[in-house]
Amino acid sequence: MEPTTQKPFLGFFDGDVHGQLADFRERWPVAPLRLPDGRTGWLLTRHDDVRRALADPRLVKDGLLSPLGFRPQLPPEVYAATAQNMLTVEPPDHTRLRRMIQGAFTPRRIGELAPAITATTDRLIDALDTPGTHDLVTEFAFPLPVAVISDLLGVPLDERGDFTEWASILASGVHRKSELPGAVVAMITFIRHLVAGKRERPGDDLTSALTTATDQGDQLTEDELVSTIYLLILAGYDTTANLIGNGAWLLLRDRTWWSEARADPDRLPKIIEEMLRYESPVQLGTHRMAAEDVSYGGQLIPAGSTVLLSLLSANHDDRVMAEPEVFEPARTRSVHLAFGHGIHHCLGAPLARLEARIAFTRLVSCLPETRLADGFVPRWRASALLRGLEDLVVTTR
């Protein structure tokens, strides 16, 4: 490949993503790509480069959640309420926001969600325990995290139908692109109403805790509060759904892993780390903007460029691990970057791990006979940011 022939960014999703990334790692580790808006982005694929870039203060957030520069048409006051959260800003604002939110999103609060996560898991599993085929993606992997986020944020039971619908549109990316602006507006309006309700009648939920934190000082502005809740919904939904869907696929494509997890559930934490490494839910699109000229792999990346970091590729780099193409939970040291690295390292990682652990513990023990449906072939969603299956069709009896 010549540096002058820029590969179109979206070309990745047409085929073998793992194979293409391996090719990039080997032949063109710092590669210019043509972004859909015509600009040039730089794709980093080797583990050491990606890890260094994630912690490089010269590579900053540019306020965009999408690396494609895609910004849905939104009224300005709605846009302001989506883009003032820790994932889109840098220090000192990032430090202030992250400290405040971490103070409310404590290990105790996460641990207390376990009974509700188990109850939701069991309810979903009951519905799966019938003859015929089931789709684990739509019937299990997606409904679980959105219910958990509703519990975490204290969304009232009678408002969960709308909440789930809007969250699903936000999570569906290109699939429901035309519905996106409407869903963003509806979700921001809903969050404002949720916050107002919690100010009047606080509960033991994260929204109330964040509201109190705001009231005690002048730290979280109203837009920051709304934007943070919006981020938690966005960041915690389809990522976790993809971990569960991709993970179930990895356990079922070679059923030994399903049986091993059932025989010894204590192995699940390591199995889950290997799922995160092997089919990383955030695959390609974590991105930054170069605030000044930087050099990676001897290549100059000019100031103002978009820099795309492929976590999936970093997690398959044989420069830092043996036989990356083998699913091997017994790896002595997992060096995966599936939750990122540096100051933006995933705040929700403990919650995602807890959800996955409960989900898989219950799935393998309650539905031991689960198998891929005859002729099932995995199809991956066409998404720049995330790696997830379109469906996972199984029988459970």
Binding positions for ligand HEM, 360-389, rule CB under 6 A: none
Phi, psi for residue 15 in degrees, rounded to 5: -145, -130
Kindly write out the interface string for residues 274-303 of this chain, putting x where it contacts ligand HEM by CB under 6 A and - elsewhere: -------xx---x-----------------
Check binding of 86 to ligand HEM (CB under 6 A): yes
In the complex, minimum distance from the CB of residue 27 to ligand HEM, in angstroms, rounded to a whole number: 25
Binding positions for ligand HEM, 302-341, rule CB under 6 A: 311, 338-340
Stretch near ligand HEM under the rule CB under 6 A, chosen from 23-31, 255-263, 346-354, 366-374:
346-354
C-beta separation of 341 from 315 below 8 A: no
3-class SS at 68?
Answer: coil
DSSP 314-362: HTT-TTTSS-TTS--TT-S-----TT--GGG--TTHHHHHHHHHHHHHH
Looking at 17, 30, 180, 243, which residue binds ligand HEM (CB under 6 A)? Answer: 243
d(CA 80, CA 266): 45
Identity of the residue, 45 or 395, whose beta carbon is nearer to ligand HEM in the bound complex = 45
Around 144, how many Cα atoms within 13 Å sit in the side-chain half-sphere?
Answer: 35
Check binding of 185 to ligand HEM (CB under 6 A): no
Taking CA atoms, 186 is separated from 32, 80, 150, 331, 355, in Å, by 37, 14, 16, 45, 27
In the complex, minimum distance from the CB of residue 153 to ligand HEM, in angstroms, rounded to a whole number: 9
Check binding of 44 to ligand HEM (CB under 6 A): no
Number of helices followed by number of strands (H, E) in the chain: 17, 11
C-beta separation of 48 from 313 below 8 A: no
In the complex, minimum distance from the CB of residue 285 to ligand HEM, in angstroms, rounded to a whole number: 9
Looking at 174, 213, 289, 346, which residue binds ligand HEM (CB under 6 A)? Answer: 346
Check binding of 239 to ligand HEM (CB under 6 A): yes
Kindly write out the interface string for residues 96-115 of this chain, putting x where it contacts ligand HEM by CB under 6 A and - elsewhere: --x-----------------
Check binding of 231 to ligand HEM (CB under 6 A): yes
Looking at 100, 128, 235, 367, which residue binds ligand HEM (CB under 6 A)? Answer: 235
Looking at 185, 195, 251, 347, which residue binds ligand HEM (CB under 6 A)? Answer: 347
Count the site residues for ligand HEM by CB under 6 A: 24
Q: Is the dihedral of CA 391, 384, 4, 315 positive or negative?
A: negative
Q: What angle do CA 172, 116, 159 make, to 5 degrees?
A: 55
In the complex, minimum distance from the CB of residue 96 to ligand HEM, in angstroms, rounded to a whole number: 11
Check binding of 147 to ligand HEM (CB under 6 A): no
Check binding of 240 to ligand HEM (CB under 6 A): yes
Q: Write the DSSP symbol of residue 380.
A: B
Identity of the residue, 90 or 396, whose beta carbon is nearer to ligand HEM in the bound complex = 90
Find where tokens 């790696």 sit. Answer: 387
DSSP 4-24: TSPEEGGGGGGS-HHHHHHHH
Identity of the residue, 32 or 236, whose beta carbon is nearer to ligand HEM in the bound complex = 236
Find where tokens 């022939």 sit. Answer: 5
Stretch near ligand HEM under the rule CB under 6 A, chosen from 6-14, 21-29, 181-189, 230-238:
230-238
Identity of the residue, 239 or 396, whose beta carbon is nearer to ligand HEM in the bound complex = 239
Long-range contacts, 155-158 (Cβ 8 Å, 24+): 155/194, 156/197
Residue 320 C-alpha from the chain's centroid: 23
Which residue's beta carbon is nearest to the bound ligand HEM? 348
Looking at 35, 155, 352, 354, which residue binds ligand HEM (CB under 6 A)? Answer: 352
User: For residue 339, how many other CB atoms are within 10 A of its CB?
Assistant: 20
Stretch near ligand HEM under the rule CB under 6 A, chosen from 312-320, 344-352, 376-384, 388-396:
344-352
User: How large is the greatest C-alpha to C-alpha distance in the chain, in angstroms?
Assistant: 62
Identity of the residue, 349 or 382, whose beta carbon is nearer to ligand HEM in the bound complex = 349
What is the distance between the terminal CA atoms of the chain, rounded to a whole angstrom? 49
**Contacts with ligand HEM, residue ranges (CB under 6 A):** 54, 86-87, 98, 231-232, 235-236, 239-240, 243, 281-282, 286, 311, 338-340, 344, 346-348, 351-352
